[in-house]
Amino acid sequence: MKKLIQFFVLIVAVSALLLWSIAKLNDSQGYSSGNTLTIYNWGDYIDPDLISLFTEETGISVIYETFDSNEAMMTKIQQGGTSYDIAVPSEYMIEKMIEEDLLLPIEHDKIPNLSNIDERFIDLPFDPENKYSVPYFWGTVGIVYNTAMLPGIEITSWNDLWDPTFKNEILLTDGAREVIGMGLNSLGYSLNDTNREHLLEAKSKLDLLTPNIKAIVGDEIKMLIANEEAAIGLVWSGDAADMMWENDNLDYVVPIEGSNLWFDNMVIPKTAKNIEAAHMFINFILDAEIAAINTEWVSYSTPNKEALAFMPEDMTEDERFYPPEELTEKLEVYENIGKWNLAYYNELFLEFKMHRK
């Protein structure tokens, strides 16, 4: 009998040890618990010193993970393997996450710094009354080009890119909506067009661009353009600003046919474990001086109007990155076009990439 009791005691002890080990493992993989905040954000999208400052001011440890596409972020949130307290999706994905009931409502009374946000970026169609999201950064999609490698040439239009002069000089960012969107805009169609004939027309036109395309790449596009490995790139405005910081020969333009006006907002997934800390962090990042520091580091455009006073004038007065309201009103925000239409965009983009080989 005594041996049997010792055996059960041993089983209980081993089980307790296993449970403790699993809890520690979960913590190390990003599961929120206790005084920890887990953030899921795009790469190079926050000044790392601010994370340290938040921990110093609040005593809350931050686990920080990154993604490289809205779709990758969405898949991981849906799988629920990791309990992120904050994520930073783009507008069309926020709309989709709301539809799929994946987000918690933001408690506005816990974020007094929300009053620092420019009214232009509040109450937008993808999240009326900002019930589920808070603005983080915004920008455009456009063309960056090297004026020294292309002397005497001014690019103003998507259609300029089809000029044979630019053979093997164009890098495209690896995004279906950006590239198919460029094809649609070049034909005068909406970025949110789901008409199959229009989409096939756009894909056919993109195929004609193939001789001018050097590569379709991810984040490395910033390094390649800055190092003059190619003269032209389809990029997000913040990436263009980074490149222009590295290379004075670069210029950025929003094409005359139109383009994408995008927003990345902070959200709290329903699986969040530290909701209180999530609100504290969002309020922290919306502080005017903190937002200014973050914007100078990230280089994208801030929606925080109070932060502009703490930033250099050559940054805030550059209309390539802070376009006037009359221009932004002409640009299009990506809409949630639905699963099947998005799959069709991805299919056409894959066919386009295969066409190049």
Detail the residues annotated as belonging to a binding site: 92
Residues 89 and 321: their CA atoms lie apart, in Å, by: 20
Closest CA to 90 of 294, 311, 260, 329: 260
CA distance 33 to 52: 18
Residues within the annotated binding site for spermidine? 92
Which residues have C-beta within 8 Å of that of residue 277, sequence separation ≥ 6?
35, 36, 37, 58, 60, 85
The set of residues, in sequence order, having a beta carbon less than 8 Å from that of 247 and lying 6+ positions away, is 146, 225, 226, 227, 228
Name the residue among 255, 259, 264 with its Cα closest to residue 301.
264
Would you list the DSSP string of 27-67? HHTT---TTEEEEEEETT-S-HHHHHHHHHHH--EEEEEEE
Q: Which residue has the tokens 């046919």?
A: 257
Query: What is the Cα 108 distance to its own chain's centre?
Result: 23
Residue given tokens 């296993």 in the structure block: 18
